[in-house]
Amino acid sequence: MDTLIIAVLSFVGFIIAYHTYGRWIANKIFGLEDQAITPSRELQDGVDYVPTKREVVFGHHFTSIAGTGPIVGPAIAVFWGWLPALLWVVLGSIFIGAVHDFGALVVSLRNRGQTLGEVAGRMITPRAKMLFLLILFLSLTVVLAIFGLVIAVIFALYPESVLSVLIEIPLAVTIGFWIHRAGKSLLIPSLIALGVMYVTMYIGAYHLPRLFDLGFQFNIPLFGDTLASAVVVWTLVLFVYCFIASVLPVWTLLQPRDYINSHELIVALLLLVAGLAFAGITGHADLIGSAPAIASDIPPDAPPIMPFLFITIACGAISGFHCLVSSGTSSKQIQSEGDAQYIGYGAMLLEGGLATIVILACCAGIGMGLFTRVNVDEGSYFYRKTISQETGEHIKGREAWMMRYSSQIETIENPNGTTKKVGGWLNHGLGQKVGAFIEGGGNFLTSVGIPLKMSIVIMAVLVASFAATTLDSATRLQRYVIQEIGLSLKVKLLDNRYIATAVALVLGGIVAVLPGPKGPGSGGLILWPLFGATNQLLAGLAFMVIVFYLIRRNKPIWFAVVPMILMLIMPAWAMIWNMFAPETGWYFTGNYLLLGVGISIQALQIWMVVEGFLALRTARGNYPELPPIADFTG
């Protein structure tokens, strides 16, 4: 029952916040006007600037900001206990994340759909613009490099999910062209497509589980003696898809696919909530009995909860990546300024709701029991209960959670005879993080009568679909950033959307396919330790742009200044810990690549903050007007 009570209280809190705090910001601070001319109408080009109904933009916006972030982050953070993770998700999403996303969206709407990097040049200083764009460029390069790996890992662990994920692409394109020509609503075609996806989930689960099994190696020579693995091949295939998707008009693929994904999430959330409610009422889902509220048995190789909780859970509480979506794609599609609260503030609260469900699934859901997948003849998979060797009973409750989160902790003996615990954090791989939610959520679905095998496929398809959405949205966003850098440096060649997209994917691809800590195709993991702090630093800098917008408009800023300070301090603290922590810091371990990049990012942050202080003296009430449309290059 405790699991159900916490879920209900969290969702009620989100609903109240939307209708009170969110409405106050929309009406009293930003003064949204339904009649204002939006960038999608002023600069309509049929490719990027396309006036779109708010429910369709919501679907795109939510699925782009969600991705796997609100799944992986909370699945890691419950390592410290479920209570700190839950508090950060609920309070962070209401008072920080939703304000960040909403503010970035409105600022972009009021500046002809420019990204916050471009707006920073007018709100702060021209130098701040280039600093912001460089940080965006570094962040997105890592995102592109890593998300191919995320999808490949999901496909490898849950090959039953591949068919449903791939079939969504032709379905979305077909719907996009049909809707564009007929001018009809997306709703009915989207629901039909979702039904087709569920049919393919069933086929994948029970009839073609190994159709796309990625456990094999492709014998293709790369970089001398290195052989490209299935991960490399899938990454390259995905990048080709991303090139096509990011240069097409948004109505052909991006909007219909994201709309289908939004319905997929709603159905999955309803099933999860129904399963959670039933399991909670019957006592099968026990949060307090399954996982510690605040974990005490943490190995020394794990980073401290302060400040790393605020870095580990990004999406679900606040994420700098969201400002790119708000100011990069969503602001170019909104047809009425009054839709901004629904899309910017509302989507972030729904993501907070998803992160809340993830926390409960990774704790109470895992506590309902562990299962082992068995591969029998002809690749037919089934699940059997994981049995304790000591008791011979099905592993449930706190023991199940400990096995999922602490089974890789090893006690080793030092040369001086003392012992220490290692491995619980560093060896907690990507597959385990994603798998905790997929399998814990699958347990919830079984409570409403869905077979375990089908439940696992539903959850795996959900995660893979959102990872793919983030990947191609990030490609489009990186294209915008490269175009803006090209305009700033007067490199006209980079203004071409095909060339800018190619540059984005070539650079991301080089990092992605290089051999890394997990073998070929895991090169993105080399720079991945930088991403958490850099992403949250980006959120702090986005708040800085929002604050300057408000100062120049003579608006109150206190509600944005406090989150800005928090999101400038916490990422810097985490980055410094990563670089100079005794024994484990990059300086002491000789990891000079990460150390050099980390120092560079910190220098860019300090430089931009200094630019802000210098601009602050003359900013109050001094709002720079936009250039004439004829001179505008958005």
Structure tokens at 215: 């456990």
Instruction: Kindly report the pTM of this predicted structure.
Output: 0.86
Given a cut of 90, is residue 562 above it in pLDDT? yes
DSSP 450: -
What mean pLDDT value characterizes the chain?
82
Given a cut of 50, is residue 344 above it in pLDDT? yes
**What is the CB neighbour count within 10 angstroms for residue 10?**
20
Rounded CA separation 363/405 (Å): 10
Mean pLDDT computed over 260-271: 85
Mean pLDDT computed over 251-264: 82
Rounded CA separation 33/20 (Å): 18
pLDDT, tens only, 446-486: 888 899 888 888 988 888 887 777 787 788 888 888 988 88
- pLDDT exceeding 70 applies to what percent of the chain? 85
Domain harbouring 627, CATH code = 1.20.1740.10
Q: Token match 């009973």: residue?
A: 393
Q: How confident is the model at residue 522 (pLDDT cuts 50, 70, 90)?
A: low
Residue 432 pLDDT: 67
Residue 301 pLDDT: 66
Residue 222 pLDDT: 35
Residue 218 pLDDT: 39
What torsion, rounded to 10 degrees, do the Cα atoms 500, 259, 24, 128 define?
-10
Given a cut of 60, is residue 234 above it in pLDDT? yes
DSSP 319: -
In sequence order, the 6+-apart residues with CB closer than 8 A to the CB of 526 are 511, 514, 516, 517, 593, 594
Mean pLDDT computed over 356-376: 82
Between residues 320 and 217, the one the model is more confident about: 320
- pLDDT exceeding 90 applies to what percent of the chain? 24
Residue 213 pLDDT: 46
Rounded CA separation 472/274 (Å): 32
Between residues 180 and 355, the one the model is more confident about: 355
Range 236-243, long-range pairs (CB < 8 A, 24+ positions) = 236/509, 236/513, 238/148, 238/151, 238/468, 238/471, 239/144, 239/148, 239/505, 239/508, 239/509, 239/512, 241/169, 241/472, 242/144, 242/471, 242/472, 242/475, 242/505, 243/475, 243/501, 243/502, 243/505
Mean pLDDT computed over 576-587: 87
In sequence order, the 6+-apart residues with CB closer than 8 A to the CB of 41 are 51, 335
In sequence order, the 6+-apart residues with CB closer than 8 A to the CB of 37 are none
Q: What total number of domains does the chain contain? A: 1
Mean pLDDT computed over 245-261: 81
Full residue range of the structural domain in which residue 61 is found: 2-631
Rounded CA separation 438/373 (Å): 13
Given a cut of 90, is residue 153 above it in pLDDT? no
Maximum average pLDDT range among 430-434, 571-575, 599-603: 571-575
Mean pLDDT computed over 215-222: 38
